[in-house]
């Protein structure tokens, strides 16, 4: 049976122990249990200055921003201003893709659930002005789709900028202001913001690469906001999650979101072929979804500027756990800490970290060999000298040069799932998953992005 009482002193000691063991400079932890948010902190925000982390310190939370943007979108659905199943071009006539049919049919529901086919890695800097999302959407019109809309799940940040622009058009506010007025203020989130200059008021974490502070605090353009930039304390993320657990009602009784919208966000829209990244075997409207031996949960992860965020929510136990970190072996800290916390507080058993089996199965590699391409990347699957499989993952076109190519051997986990020993998301092994789109095209998933086979 789960323990309902949160022992703050014991968990503070455990956070300190695990953070040090995994060489994480700083970590803040917020736990929603027994109806209360408990906040802990450990370590230093910046190894160069030695500033200590405190529970109200703020971190870059990366893609956790998608859950906030999705909540704003669902508020628009509540108000009757947006139909999730109507084409996006009905609200944004300027929205376009290189495929005219896709342009006419892509919906907000598809963008929320990553089934619209739009890509992830379009890092366009459209400036610092209030028109940055409008300019980004205009520039995105020439970016190739990963796959035809509705044929597969493929994680795509570009779609969340489009959703952020929909928010702007329907509210008459910038995405940043809409988030402040429609979520941060009614929820009392005083340590949540979207712009770097706003973070200067608070104790702010610096990302670290190895043992050294990163060269730049935040490299993302302003247009990345809807998919990749909220700056938050762990406690504020837990309070945001609590609103979703409480059927859309803030702590002071204010209704922020309808109960129907809250439920819709947690309803499975699509299964994910990659069931390991973000602990997500499926996707709702903005949320990652998982089923751990019959225990349902939702959440999201994020990464930005060498900082990592994790949110896991177990509705049946009324538990949410948030971890914000700024470097080191954050993935092992997350795995060790959350496995213990969720077992004790929610009777939830997290799966083991992704890794190859001790005795890999024999797999016919022939149909998997070849090149797979999506906007900005090429994935090549070949045989190595011993007859096993090898992967080369490289950035091309507009993304050429942002990182060197990654190569690794592939160890079979099943006939369609392989373990690559290159590091994506801090894990020792990354899943490489082969699947087929609804139109019959073979594809490969790396980091949850679908790349169709081209040769």
Taking a C-beta distance cutoff of 8 angstroms, is the pair 26, 44 a contact? yes
Cα-to-chain-centroid distance, residue 329:
18
Taking a C-beta distance cutoff of 8 angstroms, is the pair 110, 156 a contact? no
pLDDT for the residue numbered 5 = 82
pLDDT for the residue numbered 450 = 96
Distance between CA atoms of residues 432 and 417, nearest Å: 6
Q: Which residues contact 452 (CB under 8 A, 6 or more apart)?
A: 146, 147, 372, 373, 374, 437, 441, 442, 443
pLDDT for the residue numbered 426 = 64
pLDDT for the residue numbered 3 = 63
Let me know if 63 is a catalytic residue. Answer: yes
Look-up of token digits 């090149």: 371
DSSP string, 403-443: S--EEEEEEESSSSEEEE-S-STT-SSEEEEEEE-TTS-EE
Strands annotated E in 255-405: 270-271, 282-283, 288-292, 295-304, 307-314, 319-325, 370-374, 377-383, 389-395
Q: Which residues contact 139 (CB under 8 A, 6 or more apart)?
A: 124, 126
Distances (CA, A) of 78 to 109, 155, 173: 14, 25, 18
pLDDT for the residue numbered 57 = 98
Closest CA to 203 of 64, 25, 46, 310: 46
Closest CA to 55 of 65, 45, 66: 45
Cite the DSSP H helix spans in 266-329: none
pLDDT for the residue numbered 86 = 98
Tokens standing for 352?
């083991």
- In the chain, % helix, strand, coil (3-state, to 5) comes to 30, 25, 45
Closest CA to 294 of 239, 231, 248, 351: 351
- Count the helices and strands in the chain (H runs, E runs): 13, 22
Tokens standing for 406?
């990654």
Distance between CA atoms of residues 226 and 372, nearest Å: 28
Strand 319-325 to strand 370-374: parallel, antiparallel, or no bridges (unpaired)? unpaired
Strand 270-271 to strand 282-283: parallel, antiparallel, or no bridges (unpaired)? antiparallel
Distance between CA atoms of residues 220 and 78, nearest Å: 31
pLDDT for the residue numbered 123 = 86
Distance between CA atoms of residues 179 and 175, nearest Å: 6
Reported as half-sphere exposure (CB side, CA atoms, 13 A), residue 242 has a value of: 23
Distance between CA atoms of residues 299 and 279, nearest Å: 9
Distances (CA, A) of 326 to 22, 41, 428: 12, 12, 18
Burial of 78 (0-12, 13-18, 19+ CB in 10 A): middle
Tokens standing for 256?
């922020």
- Mean pLDDT split into 10-residue runs, the chain, 455 residues: 80 98 98 97 97 98 98 98 98 97 98 96 92 97 94 95 98 98 98 96 96 93 97 98 98 97 98 94 97 96 96 98 97 97 96 93 96 95 93 89 90 96 76 94 95 95
Tokens standing for 262?
């809250």
Distance between CA atoms of residues 372 and 432, nearest Å: 12
Strand 208-209 to strand 51-52: parallel, antiparallel, or no bridges (unpaired)? unpaired
Of 42, 57, 63, 157, which one is the catalytic site residue? 63
Strand 231-232 to strand 59-60: parallel, antiparallel, or no bridges (unpaired)? antiparallel
Taking a C-beta distance cutoff of 8 angstroms, is the pair 109, 85 a contact? yes
Closest CA to 33 of 241, 264, 308, 276: 241
DSSP letter, residue 255 = B
Closest CA to 316 of 338, 287, 337, 347: 347
Cite the DSSP H helix spans in 307-430: 330-346
């Amino acid at each position: 049976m789960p323990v309902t009482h949160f022992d703050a002193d014991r968990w503070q000691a455990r956070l300190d122990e695990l953070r040090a063991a995994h060489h994480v400079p700083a970590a803040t932890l917020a736990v929603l249990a027994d109806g209360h948010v408990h906040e802990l902190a450990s370590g230093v925000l910046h190894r160069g200055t030695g500033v200590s982390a405190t529970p109200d310190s703020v971190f870059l939370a990366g893609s956790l921003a998608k859950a906030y943007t999705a909540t704003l979108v669902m508020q628009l659905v509540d108000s009757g201003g947006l139909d999730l199943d109507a084409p996006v071009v009905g609200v944004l006539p300027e929205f376009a893709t290189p495929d005219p049919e896709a342009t006419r049919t892509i919906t907000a529901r598809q963008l929320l659930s990553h089934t619209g086919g739009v890509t992830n890695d379009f890092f366009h800097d459209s400036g610092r002005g209030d028109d940055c999302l409008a300019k980004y959407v205009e520039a995105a019109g020439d970016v190739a789709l990963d796959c035809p809309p509705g044929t597969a799940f493929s994680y795509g940040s570009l779609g969340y900028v489009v959703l952020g622009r929909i928010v702007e058009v329907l509210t008459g506010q910038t995405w940043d202001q809409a988030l402040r007025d429609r979520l941060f203020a009614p929820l009392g989130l005083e340590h949540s913001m979207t712009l770097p200059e706003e973070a200067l008021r608070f104790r702010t974490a610096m990302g670290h690469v190895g043992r050294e502070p990163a060269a730049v605090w935040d490299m993302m353009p302003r247009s990345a906001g809807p998919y990749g930039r909220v700056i938050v304390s762990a406690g504020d993320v837990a309070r945001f999650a609590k609103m979703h657990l409480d059927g859309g009602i803030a702590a002071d009784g204010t209704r922020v979101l309808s109960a129907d919208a809250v439920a819709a966000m947690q309803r499975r829209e699509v299964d994910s072929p990659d069931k390991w990244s973000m602990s997500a075997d499926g996707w709702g409207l903005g949320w990652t979804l998982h089923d751990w031996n019959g225990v349902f949960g939702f959440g999201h992860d994020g990464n930005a500027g060498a900082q990592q965020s994790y949110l896991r929510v177990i509705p049946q136990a009324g538990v949410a756990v948030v971890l914000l970190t700024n470097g080191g072996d954050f993935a092992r800290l997350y795995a060790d800490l959350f496995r213990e916390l969720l077992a004790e507080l929610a009777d939830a058993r997290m799966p083991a970290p992704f890794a190859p089996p001790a005795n890999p199965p024999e797999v016919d590699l022939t149909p998997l060999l070849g090149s797979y391409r999506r906007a900005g990347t090429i994935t090549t699957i070949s045989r190595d000298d011993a007859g096993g499989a090898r992967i080369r993952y490289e950035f091309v076109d507009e993304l050429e040069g942002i990182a060197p190519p990654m190569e690794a051997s592939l160890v079979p986990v099943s006939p369609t799932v392989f373990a690559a020993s290159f590091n994506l998301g801090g894990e020792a092994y990354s899943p490489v998953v082969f699947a087929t789109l609804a139109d019959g095209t073979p594809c490969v998933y790396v980091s949850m992005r679908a790349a169709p086979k081209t040769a």
